[in-house]
Amino acid sequence: MEPSDNSQRVQTWPSLLLRSGTHQKSIILPTIDPGFKPALSLCTDTSLVDEPWKPSVAKKILAAYYTPLSLKSELLATKAALNEFQSLAMQEAVMAFHDIAFHNNITIKQGRSNFPDVGPKTIVKACRRVKGFRRLLDDDKVTLLSSGLLDVMVLRSVLLYDHLTDSWSCSGSRFARNDVFQDLSLLIGLTRVIETFPDRWRKDLTVACLIYLIIIFNPDLPYLQFSGSIRQEQYTYIYLLQRYLEMACKSPCDASDYHYRLMAKIEDIQNLRRDMQKFCEVLYPNFSILKSIATLVKFKITCH
C-alpha cells in the first residue's frame, strides 16, 4: 500500500533556486552578488587543479581498504579483472541508481508539493533495490535518506551541469546558472565542486552510482542505531570505486589520484548540506523531508 497522492510533473532543483522575478511563484530573496563568476571551467586536467589535502578523506580511504572484506577481495582479485562479488555489487549499484544518475525527465508523485524531480519517493525506490539498504532498520533508513536526499540533489547538479550552455536541462526545461542562484554561500560551494570535480568521470555511470551510495550510506550522521553496519556498507562502495578506477586507468597512481579527488568531492558536497537545508526551509516552510521519507519507508513502496 502506498500513500495516496496526485501525479504531476514537478520542478527540478535548479528551477527552485531561480532568482526573484524569473518565476511567478519565486520567493523574494537577496539578489545575487555582483561578483558572480561569468563562466566556469571544468577539471579536464587534474594536474592543473589543486585539491587540498583532507586528512578525514585519507583516513576514510585507508579504513575502507583495510576492512576484512576488502582484504579478502584483494586476495581473490587481480588488477586485470574484478571478482564475482565486485562485479555483482557494481551491477546492483548501476541498476538501482541508473535513472537518478543522468536522466532529466522524471515525473514524481508528491501530492501538492512542488518538489525537485529527484524527490523522496525516487530516492527511496532506488535505495530499496540495494540489498544492504533493505537490511537496515527503518529508523536508520529514514535518518540516512533525510540527509542523503539533499546530498543527492547537489551531486546531480554537479553531474548534469552543461558547461557549453552554462545551464541545467531538467524535466524538459533549461535553467541558466545566472538565473538560478540566490544564496551566495551555496553558490560559492557548488561552483567549487563543479570546477574541481574530475571531468573524466562526470558522465561515467558506474562512478556516479557508486558515489551516490557512498553519500547515502553515511555512518557519521547522529541518531543512527547501527552505524557500524552502515559504515561497512559505505566502505564496500568506497573500495568498489577504487577497484573500478584501477580497471579504467592506465596506472595505479592515476587511479589513486582520481579516487582521492572524488572522495574529496563527496566531503565537499556533504559540507553544503547545511546551506541546502536552510534554502529548502525558505522555499518549503511547510514541507518536512523527514516526515516525507518516514512515510515512504513505512509504506514500503515498491520498486516498480
Question: Quick check: 11 and 25 in contact, CB under 8 A?
Answer: no
- Amino acid residing at 303: C
Residues ≥6 apart with Cβ < 8 Å to 188: none
Q: How many residues make up the chain in this entry?
A: 304
Beta bridge partners of 198: 43
Nearest alpha carbon to residue 126 among 206, 207, 213, 205:
213
Q: Write down the pLDDT at residue 299.
A: 64
Q: Could you tell me if residue 54 is inside a domain?
A: no
- For residues 51-59, average pLDDT: 92
Q: Could you tell me if residue 61 is inside a domain?
A: no
Residues ≥6 apart with Cβ < 8 Å to 89: 236, 237, 240
Question: Quick check: 148 and 216 in contact, CB under 8 A?
Answer: yes
Residue keyed to cell 544492504: 132
- Amino acid residing at 62: L
Nearest alpha carbon to residue 11 among 146, 159, 113:
113
Q: Which has more pLDDT, 147 or 34?
A: 147
- Amino acid residing at 212: Y
Residue 236 has pLDDT above 50, yes or no: yes
Question: Quick check: 176 and 161 in contact, CB under 8 A?
Answer: no
User: Residue 154 sits in a domain of what CATH number?
Assistant: 1.10.565.10
Q: Could you tell me if residue 42 is inside a domain?
A: no
Number of domains making up the chain = 1
What's CA 257's distance to the chain center, in Å?
Answer: 20
pLDDT band at 182 (very low <50, low <70, confident <90, very high): low
For the segment 248-293, what is each residue's pLDDT rounded down to a tens digit? 998 999 999 999 999 999 999 998 887 777 777 776 666 666 677 7
Three-point CA angle 35, 270, 171, nearest 5°: 75
Q: Could you tell me if residue 43 is inside a domain?
A: no
Task: Give percent of the chain with pLDDT exceeding 70.
Answer: 70
Q: Write down the pLDDT at residue 119.
A: 73
First to last CA, the chain: 13
Nearest alpha carbon to residue 158 among 200, 197, 184, 115:
197
Q: Write down the pLDDT at residue 72.
A: 53
Q: Are strands 7-8 and 108-109 parallel, antiparallel or unpaired?
A: antiparallel
What element of type H or E holds 167?
A: strand 167-170
Least confident of 96-100, 188-192, 284-288: 284-288
Q: Write down the pLDDT at residue 40.
A: 86
Structural domain for 146, as ranges: 7-30+74-299
Residue 200 has pLDDT above 80, yes or no: yes
For the segment 108-145, what is each residue's pLDDT rounded down to a tens digit? 333 333 334 567 888 888 999 999 999 999 999 999 99
